[in-house]
Structure formats: C-alpha cells, structure tokens
Structure 1
Amino acid sequence: MSRIAHLNQRYAASRAVARAGVEIVVVGDPAGARFDAAVRRLVLAVRDDGSGPWDDLVGASKALRWRLLTQPQPMEFNQGLDQLIGEVARLARRLEGAIAEQPILDELQLSAVALAQFDEGTVVGAAVLDSCLEAGAHESVVVAASNMAKAGLESWLQAHGTLVLTAGELDADLFGRDRTYVVGPPRFYRSSLVTAPATDYVCFILPAWFGDRSVARSAIAEYAEGAIRVPTRVFAIGDTSAPQQSVPADSESEDAYLPQPVWGSREPLDREPSAEEVLARKILLSGNLAMWLDDGERIRSLDLQQPPGERVTYTDVPAVREGSYLLLRRGTTERGVMYQAALAELGEQAESVGAAQNAWKQLLVQRLQRNGYRQVAKDLRAVGVKRADRARAWTDPNLIRPHSDQDFETLLTWLGIPVQPTFAYASRLRKMLYKVSAEIGKQLEGAVSATDLTELETVGHLGLSVAADGFRGILATRVLAISPYSSVVSRHDARVPFEDRSAQWLE
C-alpha cells in the first residue's frame, strides 16, 4: 500500500470512529475484584506511615494488579503472573504482625493465591479471545500496553492468527485488519489511539473492577474549535457486582494503585553544587539499575525504530523519556573513556592540550566558587555568552568546550586567557573526540546488528559485546522512570549505572 493510500485509510478510520465512537467492554471478574479490593485496603492502611517494611508488599501487589489488567492470558503463557502471586503471598506471610490490621494481610494472601486457580486465563482474557474469534482472528489486531505485555499476549494469540502490537506500532500497514481490540483501560493509552485510529472499530476490554473508563483526549481539545471528541459505549459482560468486602469509602484515585517508582525522601536544594558536584536527576533503569543523569548535552542511545545500521545514535538529555533505550558502560562513563582516547590521538601534543584545557576550566571553577553560579551566568550574559546557563557544565573535565565558537572565545576573554592557542587546542581535541566517537559508534552498531533484540524489547536490558578497549561491558537498558526533581551528586557518580531495586515492580 502506498503512503497516500495508507494516509487515506487512516483518515477514513478516524471519521468512522468519530461518528460511531469506541466500545468499552467491562468484564465481570470476581477473583480479580476480590484481589483489587484487598490491595486498596492495604494501601489505605499504610498510606500515612511513610516508607516502611511493607513497601515491597505494596509494590508487588500493585505489580500483580497491573498484570491482571494488561496481561490476561492463560498461566501457560503468563509465567510472570505465577511468580508475582507467589511473591505477594510470601511477603504477606513475612509481614505478619507488622501492621495492626492482620485480616488485611490474610485476605491479600488468600485473594492472590485464588488467582492461580484459573489456569485457562482470566475472564478478561477469555473475552479478548472470544472477541477476536467472533470478528475473525485474521481481521483483528490486539493492542498491548507495553512491549512486555505484547510478548506475553503474542505467545498466546499468534496460534489463532491474531496480530498483537503496541500502540506505537499501529502506523504499520495492518494488511486488511479492520478491528482493534485494546487490552486494558483507555487511560493507559495515548489519545491518538482513538483520535487517529488504525481501524474503523476500536474496543477496549478491561475488568469491571477498574473504575476509570474515561478516554484520553488531546491536551488542546478543550481549547480547540472543532476538536475531536470521541463518544464511548460501555457494555458489561458477566458478574460485575462488587466483592463482599467492598472498598472503603475514602478510597483514593486509581493512580495510587498503579505500580510506581520509589524515590525516597527529597533533600532540599539549599546550596549550589561545588566544583566536584553536579545537579542530576535519578533515572531508574531496567535490570534493577539506576543512574544520575546530569545536564550534559547528549547521551548515547539506541533507537529500535530505525533500520539496522542506523540504530545507535545520540539523544539530547532533555529528550530522554520513559521507554528510551540508553547505551551505558558499567563502572565508568563513556565520556571519560572517550576523552582519554581522544587525548591519546593527539600524540606529542596531548600534554599541551591537556594543560590548556585544565587551565581555563580551573579559572572558571574559581569564578564559580567565588561569585556563585547565578552571578557568573549573569556576568557571562552581559558580555555576550548566549549559553551562559551552561557555565557549570563547562567545568566538567570530559566536556571539551562550549559548542558555540563565539561563546568559547568570549568565555576565554572574560577569564583573561588569550584565545589562542587554547581555542585551537580545544577544537582539535573535539575533532579527535568526534573521530573516536564515530569509531565506537560503528562497533556498537555492529554489535547491535549481530544481536537478537527481541530480548531487549521484552526483558528491557541486554549486554552487548564490543571489542574496543575501554568499551567492554556495554549495556543497553530501558528507562523506566525519571525523578521529578534534581539532586546534588558527585560529578564522578553522574552517568555511572549502579544497582538499585527502586524500579523492581515497574518491569
């Protein structure tokens, strides 16, 4: 199908869904409703206690609830479900006596174990399969909430001929498939799933115990004239009555019961970073890892949407998002290794270049220590440095020089340093860095091309074999969460992955 024909098809689908609306099928799920109620009571019982010994239990319970919502396939294709059920039961037993409401722990354990009795899958899974078979498995596409959910659903539904995709993959030609069944509540998906649908029919299938059935709208829909507002039609299947032990009246919004990262207590930013410190956000990574990401310009990444040979790239630091794939080296930063490699490329001139770099950076550090970051940035703006806000970042030994020639020349003059030969030295060193970076990029690209990336998409992290000295132990890992606030950390700790289990329930 040509691009124009494909675009016309999408417009026709958008018109059809805008007129007919989307269907929301809520399926009675007594076992899931019982467990959901137990999770809600647990969260309410401990919500005012802060961080404590039950954090793991709450995290595991939320993760199990999430899997019920997004991966309703039979146990044979859902090993993670069985593992989570066992983990919830184990943690509940371990916490006996930790909270006053022992019946809550008992009910949580019993309701979790009861979920394992349905070897043929949940009633929601049965509704998904029945819907596909009724409409025609080869005419249907099932949309999963994540790559991990896709892998599980695909292992189950591919035998029936049903295509399983994530929402981001719906731009592909669907080869005549005209019905989309979305697993999970509408709020888990972007508004474009219904405002720019891939088929003429869109249906969300979810358990009745999940109360929020609102369909996401574009952020500008409220203000736009003629904005698309897709109507919904709700249908109920099975026993949708509430469990005997109902959820307390003061139950919180759904957000409180979804898997969430653990950021710990926030320390107040009552001081500026020293010369050996940086402001950085904590990033939680797949594989029980984390990293402090500073305000550098870019970071090596992996774009799985690109064709082979073009997947290794750089991402601007502000553009790093949940779901991004980063290429990291355990134990140290890639920047430090490349800087030393670039310096070595200069041969006999390396000592002079290194001394010149150290000289202007030390003078900038002294100005920052004496006058403070805000005053230095103000003074630099006054003399014409456009990116004066980067003054603190320029002190990083591994950041060679400001990107703008004019900014660098003005900075050197402001520091009282003759522009030459420092400018020429730094520019040559940067050229060598680009050369080293390109060579490493080629090797990384070769390693990626020779690797089956299926594991990366499903598991979230994967080791790569690179032959270059200093670049062994490269890890591709998915960003799971980004801290909403910055912290002051040691410069040597920035961009170095370390063990951290704060995201264990997000995967």
Structure 2
Amino acid sequence: MAGAIAEQDLLDELSASAAVVAVSDSALGAVLLRSCLEVGVENCVVVAASKPAAAGLAAWLQEQDVLVLTAGELERVQPKSGQAFVVGPPRFYRSSLVTAPVTRGISFLLPAWFGDRSVPSSAIAPYAEGALRIQARLLTQGDTAEPNVDLPTEAEAEFLPQPAWGARHSGGREPTDEEVEAHKILLSGGLAMWLDDGERIRSLDPDQPVGERVAYVDIEAVRAGTYLLLRQGETERGALHQAAIARLARGDAVDATQVAWKQLLAAKIRTLGYRETVRELRRAGVKTAERARAWTNPSLIRPHSDQDFERLLRWLGVNAQPTFRYATMLRKSLYQVSAEIREKLEAAVSAADLSELEAVGHLRIDFGADGFRGILAARILAISPFTEIVSRHDARVPFADGSGRWLE
C-alpha cells in the first residue's frame, strides 16, 4: 500500500505495531494458563473459535496436556471436564455453548477492548415457568482504562472502506430471453454473485437452534450480514426443478406445458417490450404484472396468486387446463424436493463447526445429496445499488472476486 498512501509515517507506524503484536505474548495467555493449572488440567478443556486457532493453542499447551477443542468438537466429544475456558467473546460462538452446556462451568476470556460481553440466553426462557436465568460474573485483569479514541466525524466517514461498484455497463436496454437483471453481491471468502429478482433464496441462520438453521429468505429481505447457502459452480434451482419433474407421473407433459406458456410470454415481452407488457397485464387484472420477466425463468414455476396465473394464461390465449393444474402439481413436487434437501442440509449443518463460519465468514459444508455437492455458506458483505444485465445461467452462481476482501 506504500505507493497509494501519502501518509507514509502512519503506514510505518501501523507496520511496526503489527510486528510487535506478532512477537508479543497476549495477556490472555497468562490468565488462561494460570486458570487451567488452578482448576487442574484433567478437569478443564480449552475451547477455540476455529480449527486454526485450536491448533495454535494446542501446540502451546501441549506441555501441560491441556485438551483443546473447537465448539463443534466439544459438542461431539463431550469430555468429562468440569470447566471450559472459552477463548474469545460469547458472540463468536453458537449460543448452545451456553444454553446447552457440555461442562458445569464456562469462562470466556476476552480482551477488555471488546465491548460486547453479553452472554446468550435461551429464546424460550422468558416464556417458560421456572426457567433458568443464566448469570455472568465479570472479572478483570490488569489495566482496563479506556484509551482516548477520536471517532470519525460524518465528513471523515466517507473515507472509510466502501465497495467500489463503478458505473452501470448495461445502459438502458432490456434483457433478452436468456438474460436477467441482477444486483452484484460481494461475499466473504473472496467471492461474489449475481442475485436476480427471483422470489427467494436459501439461507443459513447460525443463531437458530439445531434443526431450524436452514430456511428460505425472500429476495427483498436479503441484507448485508445474511448468510446464503450456495451451490458451488452452478445454481441450485436447476437441479431442484429437474428433480421435481422427475418424480411426477406425467413429468414430460408437465414440462411441455411449462415451456409453452413461458415461451409465449417471452415472445410478448420481445414484441411489446417489458414496460408495455406490464401495462397490458395490469389492464388484464394481473396484480403482480411487474414480475412478467421473472416468470419466463424455467425455475420459477408460476405466479404465486391463482387469479394472477389464470388471468395471465387468458391474456396469452392459453387454456387454463391442464396448464394450471400441471403447474400446481409441479410446484407441490418442488416444495417436497426442497423440504427433503433442507432436512439433509440441516443434518450437514448440525455436524459442521459453525464457529468457523462466524469467525471467518464462510464455510464449505459436506453434503452428499446427488446434484447438490459442494455447498458453500457465505456471508453477504455488500449489495450493489444498481442492477446489471447478465446471462440467466450466471445468476446465483458464486465466482471468485477479490474486490470485497477489504470489507471482511
């Protein structure tokens, strides 16, 4: 960064400070070692936020034979230790570490400058009769005086790191049948993705209890900080769609009716233009007419509203039956396939070490279902304020992009 920064003295100071941190012993280390020896190494376990952190701590504590595990390993191994010393603040770990403890006692060791020291509690505790209330004691070591820090003013805040989106390259043209408008999303782990205007996308909430972490979230509700579950190399929707058709007795006929009305709608959009198509659909009584372009996507089976779908078919000159019935059957089949995949994903997520996800921001999950291998959980860092026109096949497929690295 030397060539891009005018204040070379500040850069030198930052570099020197980083070098000192790398060779200095953490004050927490002395507290951790003393605590382990006081309790007895056979009666305690040290919990680390990630596998690399656990490996580093284990190498340091191996002379004392102290057991070091990640939070996920602690739940699986369930050692006969009475005390757990957790390195890092509670928010770095899943809530079950406290609400469903493996050990009788838990102590978090964290630096004083980390302000959030709140301990998680059970979501149902406020409503349960005789529920346990988790209490915490705060013990401090050394100098805890707060340093004087000048926070950035509003004028200075604009110089903090921000995504560099550039200008829109698609101009004012409308997408073709094989294109969609999509927002660029920067993901943790040096990845990015084009998110189109579909109805929903699969997400992961590590704060939810086991069995309730995998869900669908509406596209409108996607925000920075949301964890998405993505298929590496290709989108999940195509595999779900094919699996749903394959389990139907008249799958070929169902698929043929779907292709027919979607091609008619795509042709209308090409002939009239998107805006005029929307106006005509609204005159025909279709309340969600602005979704016309999205309905041409093979993976979006039909409009959510029965009335909108019937009026759309009538406007296209298509007999309501059997197209309406077949589309409804396909949607039901798709929900069943999706529910089965969700159960398998829940099992895979429950077996994964989610503390690594919270600490690092992304996690590859071992998932053995056919057509769904290579599942990636990644946190959204930023969403572009404008859309670009991209190939339909490129939407929702993660790709390497280093432009969001400095936001992690």
Q: TM-score, normalized by length of structure 1?
A: 0.58
* Aligned partner (choices 440, 443, 451) of residue 341 of structure 2: 440
> Aligned pair count?
322
Structure 2, unmatched stretches of 5+, are: 32-87, 94-106, 123-132
Q: Return the alpha-carbon distance in structure 2 between the equivalents of residues 483 and 453 of structure 1.
A: 27
Counterpart of 1:378 in structure 2 is 279
> Is the contact made by 1:302 and 1:311 (CA closer than 8 Å) also made in structure 2?
yes
Q: Residues 113 and 163 from structure 1, CA distance in 2 versus in 1: closer, same or farther, beyond 3 angstroms?
A: closer
Q: Residues 175 and 379 from structure 1, CA distance in 2 versus in 1: closer, same or farther, beyond 3 angstroms?
A: same
Counterpart of 1:258 in structure 2 is 160
1:311 aligns with 2:213: yes
Q: Residues 168 and 258 from structure 1, CA distance in 2 versus in 1: closer, same or farther, beyond 3 angstroms?
A: farther
CA deviations over 1:313-358 (Å, ceiling 9, x no partner): 00000101111000000111111110011111124x1211111111
Q: Partner letter of residue 402 of structure 2? A: R
Counterpart of 1:158 in structure 2 is 108
Q: TM-score, normalized by length of structure 2?
A: 0.71
Three-state SS of the structure 1 residue aligned to 2:404 is: coil
* Identity value in percent: 53
Q: Partner letter of residue 339 of structure 1? A: H
Q: Return the alpha-carbon distance in structure 2 between the equivalents of residues 167 and 276 of structure 1.
A: 50
CA deviations over 1:66-101 (Å, ceiling 9, x no partner): xxxxxxxxxxxxxxxxxxxxxxxxxx2xx4xxx7x8
Q: Return the alpha-carbon distance in structure 1 between the equivalents of residues 118 and 224 of structure 2.
A: 14
Q: Residues 117 and 421 from structure 1, CA distance in 2 versus in 1: closer, same or farther, beyond 3 angstroms?
A: closer
Q: Return the alpha-carbon distance in structure 1 between the equivalents of residues 147 and 366 of structure 2.
A: 42
Q: Return the alpha-carbon distance in structure 2 between the equivalents of residues 110 and 164 of structure 1.
A: 25
Three-state SS of the structure 2 residue aligned to 1:300 is: strand
CA deviations over 1:410-439 (Å, ceiling 9, x no partner): 111110000001111111111111111011
* Aligned partner (choices 153, 160, 176) of residue 274 of structure 1: 176
Q: Residues 120 and 417 from structure 1, CA distance in 2 versus in 1: closer, same or farther, beyond 3 angstroms?
A: closer
Counterpart of 2:232 in structure 1 is 330
| Residues 107-146 of structure 1 aligned to structure 2 (within 5 Å) | 107-116=9-18, 118-119=20-21
Q: Return the alpha-carbon distance in structure 2 between the equivalents of residues 403 and 312 of structure 1.
A: 22
Q: Residues 178 and 146 from structure 1, CA distance in 2 versus in 1: closer, same or farther, beyond 3 angstroms?
A: closer
Q: Residues 177 and 266 from structure 1, CA distance in 2 versus in 1: closer, same or farther, beyond 3 angstroms?
A: farther
Counterpart of 2:397 in structure 1 is 496
Q: Return the alpha-carbon distance in structure 2 between the equivalents of residues 158 and 171 of structure 1.
A: 15
Counterpart of 2:135 in structure 1 is 175
Structure 1, unmatched stretches of 5+, are: 1-56, 58-91, 130-142, 149-156, 180-202, 213-251
1:463 aligns with 2:364: yes
Q: Return the alpha-carbon distance in structure 2 between the equivalents of residues 146 and 268 of structure 1.
A: 41
CA deviations over 1:259-307 (Å, ceiling 9, x no partner): 2222233336411111111111111001100001111110000112211
CA deviations over 1:143-181 (Å, ceiling 9, x no partner): 989859xxxxxxxx93479897859977776625699xx
Counterpart of 1:390 in structure 2 is 291
* Aligned partner (choices 303, 311, 326) of residue 425 of structure 1: 326
Counterpart of 2:103 in structure 1 is none
1:475 aligns with 2:376: yes
Q: Return the alpha-carbon distance in structure 2 between the equivalents of residues 121 and 332 of structure 1.
A: 44
Q: Partner letter of residue 367 of structure 1? A: K
> Is the contact made by 1:263 and 1:502 (CA closer than 8 Å) also made in structure 2?
no
RMSD: 3.4
> Is the contact made by 2:170 and 2:389 (CA closer than 8 Å) also made in structure 1?
no
Q: Return the alpha-carbon distance in structure 2 between the equivalents of residues 292 and 204 of structure 1.
A: 46
* Aligned partner (choices 261, 274, 277) of residue 360 of structure 1: 261
Counterpart of 1:67 in structure 2 is none
Q: Return the alpha-carbon distance in structure 1 between the equivalents of residues 137 and 91 of structure 2.
A: 21
Q: Residues 344 and 207 from structure 1, CA distance in 2 versus in 1: closer, same or farther, beyond 3 angstroms?
A: farther
Q: Partner letter of residue 265 of structure 1? A: A
Counterpart of 1:210 in structure 2 is 151
> Is the contact made by 1:144 and 1:165 (CA closer than 8 Å) also made in structure 2?
no
| Residues 230-309 of structure 1 aligned to structure 2 (within 5 Å) | 253-267=155-169, 269-309=171-211
Q: How far off is 1:258 after superposition?
A: 2.0
Q: Residues 168 and 477 from structure 1, CA distance in 2 versus in 1: closer, same or farther, beyond 3 angstroms?
A: farther
Q: How far off is 1:206 after superposition?
A: 6.0
Counterpart of 2:387 in structure 1 is 486
* Aligned partner (choices 343, 351, 355) of residue 252 of structure 2: 351
Q: Residues 117 and 353 from structure 1, CA distance in 2 versus in 1: closer, same or farther, beyond 3 angstroms?
A: closer
Three-state SS of the structure 2 residue aligned to 1:296 is: coil
Q: How far off is 1:111 after superposition?
A: 2.2
Counterpart of 2:46 in structure 1 is none
